[in-house]
Structure 1
């Protein structure tokens, strides 16, 4: 049984149908890329799954439980985490304190004054940081980190509630090629080790084809194709609507083979 099931999802803004009755599923231990040209409905779909936008029609179920109508915090407590296109961390806090804040929230103690936040589950925070290669920088302020390291901290924060589903919005935006590959390789390892399901949007096709297990492609609010990278690369409708001649896919395929 799929972890996430999306059926008949629809959303309009005024007279514009941003998302038009799309269906897809996502299994535990799978990394699924959501791609499409600008205006395809990717962000709208992504934000409906997260609860930031309420759909006009359709169903979003996590392990059979309906998410439609729930607030983002309630969805987070059910085991759905997310990262953002622009990394969201507290720059004035240390690396470990950022993760501790997420652990406080996961433990329903965000506003508790019963003991200093800096003492809360520090060992657990350090373990999460070790998983993303940031334990040695635990006591540095986030404000002095390189951007690629900030994205790693954000990933550790997202893992604080032991998620079943991780939503990643443009995870490699603003990153150099080496940083992109390191972050996605790390994400892929977490998918395998934890049986984590990941849904991510991404404009970098080298990242998509190197790391996604499957792809779903939107155009003008409709799902036009879904399948494994090789199937999508050769899909005539995708090449026509999304890539024009399909030359972009050919370049990505060549680069992926060269990297392998």
Structure 2
């Protein structure tokens, strides 16, 4: 893992009316690192995510990817700069086959125009199959997405997100709606891709077992402010984090055990 930050966020802020959804947060993310962004509801996680992705424009502050400013750029431009994204609810073309879904993403990356009434059956098919092989979905390449199990749809979405060879991958609640085994399989796959490709991942997640088992570092937001940053076991014992989560029904004891098993 490189010590040079791939992503550098400084003084980032966003307000809606009189409400400061994000209030001057700063953090860095290096290539080869999985950074978890956690916090209770209303902490500012989604707002932060959407500013990095360009869906929201920051009111103040800076977001730099390899020294290039992202604030003010459109999501498509940010995508072409090497930022991929997956969503809490997987987004695929349900009626297209698995391989066609990935080919559509490759078409977009190449800047090609295409018609929904004309299949791009031969366009970068080998590359699409290679991406599917990386996420364990090549054997299901010819199946339509609308017949897949949800965990498999999430794998297809991951292959789609890899179509632009991202330096940075944003994953919004990647394991939402998945069974425990599916959650672990997807995050283990993501961790392997991070190692193999040397990319960075910023992810939000409510499942603390996933966070503590797979994150290299964690940042914690509360009411728009960054209240803690560090390695998972440091965050577990952080007094401010314990205070924020106290009474929410969340506990860090079980996830901490999961982290020890992975290590």
- TM-score, length-normalised on structure 2? 0.95
Structure 1 counterpart of 2:164: 161
Measured in 2, the distance between the counterparts of 1:242 and 1:248 equals: 8
Cα distance change, pair 92–116 in 1 and its aligned pair in 2 (3 A): closer
Structure 2 counterpart of 1:181: 184
Verify the 8 A CA contact 2:213 2:258 in the aligned structure 1: no
The number of equivalent residue pairs is 259
Please point out which of 131, 142, 145 is paired with 2:145. Answer: 142
Measured in 2, the distance between the counterparts of 1:6 and 1:53 equals: 15
Could you say what secondary structure the match of 1:248 adopts? Answer: coil
Matching of residue 64 in structure 1 with residue 67 in structure 2:
yes
Measured in 2, the distance between the counterparts of 1:13 and 1:197 equals: 29
Please point out which of 50, 58, 78 is paired with 1:55. Answer: 58
Cα distance change, pair 73–37 in 1 and its aligned pair in 2 (3 A): same
Matching of residue 30 in structure 1 with residue 14 in structure 2:
no
Could you say what secondary structure the match of 1:3 adopts? Answer: strand
Structure 1 counterpart of 2:105: 102
The aligned runs of 1:79-118 (5 Å cut-off) are 79-111=82-114, 116-118=119-121
Deviations 1:206-260 (A, max 9, x none): 0000000000000000000000001101111110123459970123223444576
Please point out which of 78, 82, 85 is paired with 2:81. Answer: 78
Verify the 8 A CA contact 2:214 2:259 in the aligned structure 1: no
Which of 245-254 and 139-148 deviates more?
245-254
Could you say what secondary structure the match of 2:164 adopts? Answer: coil
Measured in 1, the distance between the counterparts of 2:256 and 2:248 equals: 14
RMSD: 1.7
Structure 1 counterpart of 2:223: 220
Q: Which runs of 5+ in 1 are unaligned?
A: none
Cα displacement (A) at 1:135: 0.2
Measured in 2, the distance between the counterparts of 1:195 and 1:152 equals: 19
